[in-house]
Amino acid sequence: LSTYGASASPAPPQNGEKALVVVVHFGVDVCATSFKIESRAFNEAHFRLPDVDGFQPQHAPIDEEEVGNNEEKGRGEEEGPEAFGGKAKDLAACLRTDLPCDRVVAGLRAKGHNVVVSLDAGRYVCNYTYYWSLRALQEAREAREGCRVFSVFVHVPSFHAIGAEDQTRFVADLFDQLAEGARAVACPAAKA
């Protein structure tokens, strides 16, 4: 998704405008009855079940290099479970999306969608994917001259809870709201 429309390759910026790209990840929460915009991902993997490759970490950091660095990087200050030989805070270390989740949710609710901001993407594959996505964008931020890239993870309910047609409408509205949110962050003077 680019702020120029749903496209794999964004249109070139015009009039000094920066190119804005939003990477959107989706996961199904079979217990959910609403959509959830995930605002952060934790540096912890705890898989109740193995993934398709048999990977099943238990209370393990996703990024070993970040163990002991969370306060220096300005991340989470919450206490997590006791693990990592006294490194409990490292389990609670999180990365946050730069997108204005509250604004996105308000726009989606105004269009009639049942959606909330979530503070916890779980500790399974969804959180794992989101953490690495946010981490990769953090590392690449300085190298992306003229282009601003954002990441967000969205949990959707099963089609039994909300039908395919309503979910399709939600995704189209979501893309519009994410584009507006990205513009608001990247170009504060243009905020509505």
Residues 72 and 125 in one domain: no
- In this structure, the strands spanning 115-118 and 94-96 are unpaired
Residues 24 and 58 in one domain: no
> Against a cut of 0.85, is the pTM above it?
no
* 137 half-sphere exposure, CB direction, 13 A CA radius: 21
Domain containing 154: what range?
Answer: 1-39+97-192
34-92 pLDDT, tens digit per residue, is: 999 999 999 988 888 888 999 888 888 888 877 765 543 433 334 334 444 444 455 56
Residues 75 and 107 in one domain: no
Residue 163 lies in a domain: yes
Residue 49 lies in a domain: no
Residues 183 and 109 in one domain: yes
- The answer to whether residue 167 scores a pLDDT higher than 90 is yes
The structural domain count of the chain equals: 2
The CATH number assigned to the domain holding 3 equals: 3.40.630.20
CA 184, CA 192: separation in Å to the nearest integer? 8
Residues 33 and 112 in one domain: yes
